[in-house]
Copies of this chain bind each other. A is one copy, B any other.
């Protein structure tokens, strides 16, 4: 292991065993102070924040999302606010807290406290540290989407004994050079804002450019068909209200350093698919402008007999995981049923 563990801070509390078993949606949160040995910065203090839903004795499934996702996947009885993937974790779904223990966490760096390059390997090691703290020896499955898929790949490589199956949605073994360029320019928009003492303005613009990469021309063609207007002597096109709102919403909840460092982290990701030794289901979206289908095929080919591919066609592109909940749930249900490695 490349990380050092500090004494955990017991700010979390587990659900007592006396909680009724049918309270499947019982959820707990906690956070741990730890020291993590980071690839680009050596040992650093980090906080590991998590949310866990389901019975303490059920098989554990980790769910990890994109760089703006967090530990709260979906609303539950304890934490009723909306999560980042509503409908994915619920009674009757493949990710059902009545039969599984669903664990999600905030990525390190998401709190804006780490201003250095963050590797996906660091995230994987942070998760291993979290599992140590929670007394979880092994995951039944790691379900990762976008950045979460990259972290899942690293976890499967670096902590091979701790995960039985990987489901990697919309994330390949390396970023596509075009997508990397797109992200680099978004980071430049933030830098331009910082130069102007308009940091949140720059972050908003970066997010708006990112939205174009998350969605598709097909969706925009349907939603923003109206003619442009001339407002105060400037041309304003139909999508601008939507983009304004997306930028403002993001800025309100995202520290600038969190955005910069997690965006970079995607571009630093490069793994050898052959190094993943656990059964892996790769889910690709045709029409994804950030993670082209061909790159997911490359990942599956590198996985050899351990890999299988599911392809979804969606006009939501990279955001399909968040928007096509029913179809993703069906894919997860099938993937959970397919033979994994024996525990």
Contacts of A192 in B (CB 8 A): 189, 192-193, 196, 198, 201-202, 205
Interface majority SS (helix, strand, loop, mixed), chain A: helix
Contacts of A217 in B (CB 8 A): 176-179, 289, 292
**A175–B85 alpha-carbon span in the complex (Å):** 33
Q: A14 on the interface (CB 8 Å rule)?
A: no
**Is A184 a contact partner of B224 (Cβ separation < 8 A)?**
no
Interface residues in A205-258 by Cβ distance below 8 A to B read 205, 208-209, 212, 216-217, 220-221, 223-225, 227-228, 230, 233-240, 243
**A80–B3 alpha-carbon span in the complex (Å):** 63
Instruction: Provide the A112-145 mask, 1 if CB < 8 A to any CB of B, else 0.
Output: 0000110000000000000000000000000000
Q: A195 on the interface (CB 8 Å rule)?
A: yes
The one of B177, B233, B237 that contacts A117, using a Cβ cutoff of 8 Å:
B233
Q: A17 on the interface (CB 8 Å rule)?
A: no
Q: Closest residue to A215 on the B side, CB-wise? A: B178
Contacts of A117 in B (CB 8 A): 230, 233-235
List the number of copies, as a whole number: 2
**Is A239 a contact partner of B180 (Cβ separation < 8 A)?**
yes
**Is A181 a contact partner of B268 (Cβ separation < 8 A)?**
no
Q: A182 on the interface (CB 8 Å rule)?
A: yes
Q: A337 on the interface (CB 8 Å rule)?
A: no
**A225–B179 alpha-carbon span in the complex (Å):** 12
**Is A237 a contact partner of B180 (Cβ separation < 8 A)?**
yes
Known: A192-B198, A198-B192, A264-B235. A220 touches B184 (CB 8 A): no
Contacts of A182 in B (CB 8 A): 212
**A216–B208 alpha-carbon span in the complex (Å):** 20
**A234–B240 alpha-carbon span in the complex (Å):** 31
Contacts of A235 in B (CB 8 A): 117, 184, 264, 267-268
Interface residues in A153-185 by Cβ distance below 8 A to B read 176-185
Q: A306 on the interface (CB 8 Å rule)?
A: no
Q: A343 on the interface (CB 8 Å rule)?
A: no
Interface residues in A289-319 by Cβ distance below 8 A to B read 289, 292
**A230–B261 alpha-carbon span in the complex (Å):** 12
Q: A7 on the interface (CB 8 Å rule)?
A: no
**A40–B232 alpha-carbon span in the complex (Å):** 12
The one of B189, B208, B228, B268 that contacts A228, using a Cβ cutoff of 8 Å:
B268
**Is B181 a contact partner of A240 (Cβ separation < 8 A)?**
yes
17 residue pairs of the A-B complex, CB under 8 angstroms, read A117-B233, A177-B223, A177-B237, A178-B212, A178-B217, A180-B224, A180-B239, A181-B212, A181-B240, A183-B237, A184-B240, A189-B189, A192-B202, A195-B196, A195-B198, A217-B289, A228-B267
Binding site for B on A (CB under 8 A): 40, 116-117, 176-185, 188-189, 192-193, 195-198, 201-202, 205, 208-209, 212, 216-217, 220-221, 223-225, 227-228, 230, 233-240, 243, 264, 267-268, 270, 289, 292
Supplied contacts A177-B217, A177-B220, A196-B197, 11 more A-B pairs, CB within 8 Å: A40-B230, A178-B216, A178-B220, A181-B239, A181-B243, A185-B243, A189-B189, A192-B198, A192-B205, A193-B196, A235-B268
The 6 lowest CB-CB distance pairs between A and B, nearest first, are A178-B217, A181-B239, A235-B264, A178-B220, A177-B224, A180-B237
